[in-house]
């Protein structure tokens, strides 16, 4: 099995090859020349190369050994790219300021978003290429279905879709629609940072246990997925 097929099979990962397109996507971010940027699931380095031209330092994570070896070879002439052969979910995040821009394995989307958003030192902004359906569940505005994770992070983070992508933009093409998702820290959070873990557990419990949710002061006509962030904050308080 080829390295690319192995990554697709194990992690549901699909790669962007067009550097012009990658540059356009990075242009939709707030990444600047003095930034440190994390690339998760860097593969052979398509995104890392473009980031290296736009920011001061790139931390490129790749857990698959064969891909990581190829990544090191491809990045050998780029002094501002650090290749880290490690599962990102087990990694220690930077102590200083940083941002994230990555085409992540779709199967790890929830775990990666939770790790970043719950971090003691979270990124200033996050840009992830994800399944459209996953992104929509994180967007808490509008009358569509709101997922538990979207409501769990909503008091501290804003989310929006910056750009849709075509299936043919990827190798191999995914079977689902994808988008560039932006997650940014709120200028004014709806709850204190120190209440994050308790609040997230509360929301998670309400979504998972209908009887627990029924005992809250939520309107009886509304399901957990129909509440607004302000309503969730009110229930928690």
CATH number of the domain enclosing 161: 3.40.50.150
- On the question of pLDDT at 117 being above 70, the answer is yes
Quick one: 202 and 172 in the same domain? no
Quick one: 161 and 220 in the same domain? no
Q: Mean of the pLDDT values across residues 121-140?
A: 96
What was the pLDDT predicted at 96? 97
Quick one: 20 and 62 in the same domain? yes
Quick one: 205 and 142 in the same domain? no
Structure confidence by residue, pLDDT tens digits, 86-110: 999 999 999 999 999 999 999 999 9
Quick one: 159 and 211 in the same domain? no
Quick one: 181 and 197 in the same domain? no
| pLDDT level of residue 6 (50, 70, 90 thresholds) | very low
Quick one: 158 and 77 in the same domain? yes
What's the structural domain count of the chain?
2
- Within 10 Å of residue 157's Cβ, how many Cβ atoms? 22
Q: Are 202 and 124 in contact (CB under 8 A)?
A: no
Q: Mean of the pLDDT values across residues 55-70?
A: 97
For 214, the domain range is 193-236
Structure confidence by residue, pLDDT tens digits, 9-36: 445 689 998 999 999 999 999 999 999 9
Q: Mean of the pLDDT values across residues 148-152?
A: 97
Quick one: 197 and 95 in the same domain? no
What was the pLDDT predicted at 13? 83
Strand ranges for the chain from DSSP E: 15-16, 36-40, 57-61, 81-84, 99-103, 125-131, 157-165, 170-171, 178-185
Q: Are 1 and 65 in contact (CB under 8 A)?
A: no
């Amino acid at each position: 099995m080829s390295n690319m097929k192995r990554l697709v099979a194990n992690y549901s990962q699909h790669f962007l090859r067009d550097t012009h397109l990658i540059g356009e996507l990075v242009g939709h971010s707030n990444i600047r020349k003095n930034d440190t940027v994390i690339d998760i699931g860097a593969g052979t380095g398509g995104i890392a190369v473009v980031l290296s031209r736009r920011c001061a330092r790139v931390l490129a994570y790749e857990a698959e050994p064969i891909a990581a070896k190829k990544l090191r070879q491809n990045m050998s002439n780029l002094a501002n790219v650090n290749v880290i052969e490690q599962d990102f979910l087990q990694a220690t995040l930077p102590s200083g300021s940083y941002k994230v821009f990555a085409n992540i394995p779709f199967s790890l989307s929830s775990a990666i978003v939770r790790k970043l958003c719950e971090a003691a030192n979270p990124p200033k902004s996050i840009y992830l290429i994800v399944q459209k359906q996953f992104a929509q569940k994180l967007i808490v505005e509008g009358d569509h279905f709101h997922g538990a994770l979207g409501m769990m992070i909503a008091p501290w983070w804003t989310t929006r879709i910056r750009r849709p992508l075509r299936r043919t933009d990827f190798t191999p093409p995914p079977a689902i629609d994808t988008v560039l998702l932006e997650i940014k820290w709120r200028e004014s959070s709806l709850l204190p940072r120190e209440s994050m873990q308790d609040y997230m557990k509360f929301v998670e419990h309400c979504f998972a246990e209908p009887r627990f949710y029924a005992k809250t002061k939520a309107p009886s006509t509304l399901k957990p997925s129909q509440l607004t962030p302000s309503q969730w904050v009110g229930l928690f308080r």
